[in-house]
């Protein structure tokens, strides 16, 4: 949520209109599930 908030703020400061809705996928990552393919796919979206 924080990363997307900062992206939206920077875009607004640069004159771009904000998106009306932002979907945030909420996932709990633990040591037990961090190597599951579904969790790795979610984490990969934030490794930019």
pLDDT at residue 48 greater than cutoff 60 = no
Higher pLDDT, 10 or 21: 10
Contacting residues for 12 by C-beta, under 8 A, at least 6 apart = 18
Query: pLDDT digits over 15-40, tens only?
Result: 999 888 877 778 899 999 999 999 99
In whole angstroms, give the CA distance from residue 22 to residue 8. 9
Q: Is the pLDDT of residue 12 over 90?
A: yes
| Segments in the chain forming alpha helices (H) | 2-13, 37-44
Between residues 46 and 7, the one the model is more confident about? 7
Q: What is the pLDDT of residue 33?
A: 94
Q: What is the pLDDT at residue 47?
A: 61
């Amino acid at each position: 949520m924080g990363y997307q908030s900062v992206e939206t703020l920077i875009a607004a400061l640069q004159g771009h209109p904000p998106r009306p809705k932002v979907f945030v996928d909420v996932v709990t990552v633990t040591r037990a599930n961090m190597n599951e393919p579904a969790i790795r796919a979610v984490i990969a979206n934030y490794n930019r």
